[in-house]
Chain A
Amino acid sequence: MEITHDTLVAFSKSWGLFYLIAFAIGVAIYTFWPSNRRRFHRAKHSILDQDDKPWR
Chain B
Amino acid sequence: MIAQLTSSERQYSAVILILLLMAGIAMAALGKADALGVQGVIVLLYSGVLLAFVLSSIDKPEPSEDRQANYYDDPIKVGIVLSMVWAVFGMFMGVWVAAQLAWPNLAFDAAWSTFGRMRPAHTTGVIFGFGGNALIATSFHVVQRTSRTRLAGQLSPWFVLMGYNLFCLLAVSGYFIGITQSKEYAEAEWYADLWLVIVWVTYLVLYIRTLARRKEPHIYVANWYFMAFIVVVAMLHIVNNLAVPVSWGHAKSYTIWPGVQDAMVQWWYGHNAVAFFLTAGFLGMMYYYLPKRAGRPIFSYRLSILSFWGITFFYMWAGSHHLHYTALPHWVQNLGMTFSVMLLVPSWASAGNALLTLNGAWHKVRDDATLRFMMVAAVFYGLSTFEGSFLAIRPVNSLSHYTDWTVGHVHAGALGWVALITFGSLYTLVPALWKRERMYSAALVEVHFWLALAGTLIYVFAMWNSGIIQGLMWRTYTEDNALAYSFVDSLLAMYPYYIARAFGGLLFLLGTIVGCYNIWMTVRMAPVTAQDHADLPDRRAAPGIAPSPAE
Residues of A within 8 A of B309 (CB): 23-24, 27
* Complex contact B218–A48 (CB within 8 A): no
| B-to-A contact residues, CB < 8 Å | 68-71, 144-146, 148-150, 215-218, 220-222, 288, 291-292, 295-298, 301-302, 305-306, 309, 313, 329, 331
Interface residues of chain A: helix, strand, loop or mixed (majority): helix
A47-B69 contact, Cβ under 8 Å, with A39-B218, A41-B301 = no
For the complex, give the distance between the alpha carbons of A23 and B310 in Å: 10
Q: Could you list 27 examples of A-B contacts with CB < 8 Å? A: A9-B329, A23-B309, A23-B313, A27-B305, A27-B309, A28-B306, A31-B305, A32-B302, A39-B217, A40-B218, A40-B305, A43-B221, A44-B291, A44-B297, A44-B301, A46-B216, A47-B220, A47-B291, A47-B292, A47-B297, A48-B292, A48-B295, A48-B296, A54-B68, A54-B70, A54-B148, A56-B69
A39's nearest neighbour on chain B, judged by CB, is B218
For the complex, give the distance between the alpha carbons of A24 and B346 in Å: 12
Residues of A within 8 A of B298 (CB): 44
Residues of A within 8 A of B222 (CB): 47
* Complex contact B215–A45 (CB within 8 A): no
Q: Among A39, A46, A55, point to the contact of B149 (Cβ < 8 A).
A: A55
* Complex contact B301–A43 (CB within 8 A): yes
Residues of A within 8 A of B149 (CB): 54-55
For the complex, give the distance between the alpha carbons of A31 and B222 in Å: 16
Residues of B within 8 A of A54 (CB): 68-71, 144, 148-150, 215
Additional pairs, 4, CB under 8 Å, beyond known A53-B71, A55-B148 = A9-B329, A46-B146, A47-B145, A47-B297
For the complex, give the distance between the alpha carbons of A44 and B150 in Å: 21
* Complex contact A55–B291 (CB within 8 A): no
* Complex contact A20–B313 (CB within 8 A): yes
Residues of A in contact (CB 8 Å), total 26
Please provide the chain A residues from 1 to 56 with a CB less than 8 Å away from any CB of chain B in the complex.
9, 13, 20, 23-24, 27-28, 30-32, 39-48, 51-56
Q: Among B71, B291, B302, B329, point to the contact of A48 (Cβ < 8 A).
A: B291
Residues of A within 8 A of B145 (CB): 47, 51
Query: Sorted from nearest, which 10 A-B pairs have the closest CB atoms?
Result: A55-B148, A55-B215, A40-B301, A44-B297, A44-B301, A27-B309, A51-B145, A43-B218, A39-B218, A31-B305
Q: Among B70, B218, B302, point to the contact of A42 (Cβ < 8 A).
A: B218
A30's nearest neighbour on chain B, judged by CB, is B305
* Complex contact B305–A43 (CB within 8 A): no
In whole Å, how far is B258's beta carbon from the nearest beta carbon of chain A? 14
Most buried by B among A41, A47, A48, A53: A47
* Complex contact B302–A31 (CB within 8 A): yes
* Complex contact B216–A53 (CB within 8 A): no
Residues of B within 8 A of A43 (CB): 216, 218, 220-221, 301
Residues of B within 8 A of A41 (CB): 301
Residues of B within 8 A of A42 (CB): 217-218
A47-B331 contact, Cβ under 8 Å, with A40-B218, A54-B70 = no
B339's nearest neighbour on chain A, judged by CB, is A20
In whole Å, how far is A19's beta carbon from the nearest beta carbon of chain B? 10
Residues of B within 8 A of A40 (CB): 218, 301-302, 305
For the complex, give the distance between the alpha carbons of A13 and B301 in Å: 33
Q: Among B150, B297, B306, point to the contact of A31 (Cβ < 8 A).
A: B306
For the complex, give the distance between the alpha carbons of A20 and B216 in Å: 30
B142's nearest neighbour on chain A, judged by CB, is A47
For the complex, give the distance between the alpha carbons of A45 and B217 in Å: 13
In whole Å, how far is A37's beta carbon from the nearest beta carbon of chain B? 9
* Complex contact B220–A24 (CB within 8 A): no
In whole Å, how far is A50's beta carbon from the nearest beta carbon of chain B? 10
Residues of B within 8 A of A52 (CB): 71
For the complex, give the distance between the alpha carbons of A15 and B183 in Å: 31
For the complex, give the distance between the alpha carbons of A43 and B69 in Å: 22
In whole Å, how far is B279's beta carbon from the nearest beta carbon of chain A? 18
In whole Å, how far is B338's beta carbon from the nearest beta carbon of chain A? 11
* Complex contact B218–A53 (CB within 8 A): no
For the complex, give the distance between the alpha carbons of A9 and B288 in Å: 41
Residues of A within 8 A of B215 (CB): 54-55
For the complex, give the distance between the alpha carbons of A17 and B138 in Å: 36
In whole Å, how far is A51's beta carbon from the nearest beta carbon of chain B? 4
Residues of A within 8 A of B297 (CB): 44-45, 47-48
For the complex, give the distance between the alpha carbons of A51 and B70 in Å: 10
Q: Among B150, B217, B221, B313, point to the contact of A24 (Cβ < 8 A).
A: B313
For the complex, give the distance between the alpha carbons of A9 and B217 in Å: 43
B146's nearest neighbour on chain A, judged by CB, is A47
For the complex, give the distance between the alpha carbons of A30 and B309 in Å: 11
In whole Å, how far is A22's beta carbon from the nearest beta carbon of chain B? 11
A13's nearest neighbour on chain B, judged by CB, is B331
Residues of A within 8 A of B331 (CB): 9, 13
B68's nearest neighbour on chain A, judged by CB, is A54
In whole Å, how far is A33's beta carbon from the nearest beta carbon of chain B? 10
In whole Å, how far is B349's beta carbon from the nearest beta carbon of chain A? 12
In whole Å, how far is A48's beta carbon from the nearest beta carbon of chain B? 6
Residues of A within 8 A of B220 (CB): 43, 46-47
In whole Å, how far is B127's beta carbon from the nearest beta carbon of chain A? 27
A51's nearest neighbour on chain B, judged by CB, is B145
For the complex, give the distance between the alpha carbons of A52 and B525 in Å: 19
For the complex, give the distance between the alpha carbons of A39 and B420 in Å: 31
Residues of B within 8 A of A24 (CB): 309, 313
For the complex, give the distance between the alpha carbons of A41 and B150 in Å: 24
